[in-house]
Chains A and B, each alone.
Chain A
Amino acid sequence: MIGILALQGAFIEHKYILDNLSVESFEIRKLSDLNKKMSGVILPGGESTTIGKLLLDLNMFIPLQDKIKNGLPSFGTCAGAILLAKYVEDGTPSLATMDIKIKRNAYGRQLGSFFTKDKFDDEIIPMSFIRAPLITEVVAGNILATVNDDIVAVKQNNQLVTTFHPELKTDFVHKYFLNTIVQR
């Protein structure tokens, strides 16, 4: 059972991918949802300031942070990656559970959004970058994908982040998350 943080953003897209993989999931919208049994959590794309603010306002911040720190398998895409990063350039970190440094809107505004195909764990997959952030430093963890030398996917123990949106085009990264982190 995977919990999908559903405070704001493209969370339903993750549910569709999991549905197709016959993996059960539920939406996390409030504190009581965090008490449900889950084997992993997905932090979706959206606006990181919005999601971060709602985590605080709905008293979900500390409980979620504790779960991730205690080893809950966690997968963040785009805004989700910003939420997990310990260091945010020109900004305040949110959950700060992962030893990476990240830069918001690193490719500029919407005109800088782009689509490409590149290698993730030895497989060429489609990658949509929407006002994407950039991982500027990996203090600890493994780089899983780069695009033109830009770091776009990192795994550190129980945590996986991508700066692109695999949920829009492919189930490959979800399968990777389920196989290598959730069912480890």
Chain B
Amino acid sequence: MEDRVELNRNLAQMLKGGVIMDVTTPEQAKIAQNAGACAVMALERIPADIRAAGGVSRMSDPLMIKEIQNAVTIPVMAKVRIGHITEARILEAIEIDYIDESEVLSPADDVYHIDKTKYSVPFVCGAKDLGEALRRIVEGASMIRTKGEPGTGDVVQAVRHMRAIMAEIRRLTSMSKDELYNAAKLMQVPYNLVVNVAQNGKLPVVNFAAGGVATPADAALMMELGAEGVFVGSGIFKSGNPEQRAAAIVKAVTNYKDYNILANVSEGLGEAMVGINENEIQLIMSERGK
């Protein structure tokens, strides 16, 4: 099992510097792969539509996920509800490459997250701050992403979460031992994990940005703030020209500090997803699962 934990963290390392795209059909998965996605997230409805449809949203149909697995060679991820032990076992049974225990779906358990150490497949989980990130890692997550506010096209919450995580890590690196004890207490995580983060100045797993990324500039911004890669959900297939926008975001993540390339790829992309302001939404998904 020790090997498994490391191999699962290693797969996330291979995804770094890349863009993981939400797709709902095999055709979209192929478009994403051809545009340079390093992985796809297979789901029945992208977050913007989940938001619009309301009601309870659940794990996708395994058949639909399998069709996407067969359509591409890149890794395929899929979402389960927070705390839904069985949905996760089902995705493991169809050999999903990564499970996203996601606040985008309706939580199945309002107290417990899944004990992810019991699974062979890797998990990615969302976090708003360092405490959440470390609690998920203790539970067995082998990759972290910001929660952001999915399906809005508004990047402000992803920025807020990434800034919070990075600032808290920087703060840990300058703390004395007694201060680290207190930090561990406040974040409700083991002292050794806090020491590990303080010594390395980074999380022990890969950290991506997610939630509200809609443009190449948004993606580059998240990299600038310390993301090691980017999830793009509704931003691509809710826009005017998905293929071109997807490829542009991929290039923006690779060359996030080259502003000539960023200017170039941002040209003539057509309509971005319309987006809703965080103040206009009823449902705050990032408040699910702490």
Q: Which residues of A contact B (CB under 8 A)?
A: 6-13, 29-30, 45-47, 49-50, 53-54, 57-58, 78-79, 91, 104-105, 108-111, 113-115, 128, 130-131, 165, 168
Contacts and interface: CB of A to CB of B under 8 A. Distances in A.
B41 to A, nearest CB: 14
B95 A10 contact: no
B258 interface: yes
Contact of B73 (A12, A58, A91): A91
A50 to B, nearest CB: 5
B276 to A, nearest CB: 30
The secondary-structure label for the interface of chain A is loop
Contacts of B69: 109
A115 B36 contact: no
A109 B17 contact: no
Given A58-B251, A109-B95, A8 B6 contact: no
Contacts of A57: 36, 247, 251
Interface residues of B, number: 40
A110 B253 CA distance: 24
Contact of B38 (A6, A30, A47): A47
Contacts of B121: 110-111
14 contacts: A8-B250, A9-B14, A9-B18, A9-B38, A30-B261, A46-B16, A47-B74, A53-B250, A54-B254, A110-B75, A113-B7, A113-B11, A114-B7, A130-B11
B117 interface: no
Given A9-B16, A29-B254, A130-B10, A49 B36 contact: yes
B229 to A, nearest CB: 8
A45 B254 contact: no
Contacts of B97: 109-110, 131
A10 B16 contact: yes
A168 B10 contact: yes
B166 to A, nearest CB: 17
B60 interface: no
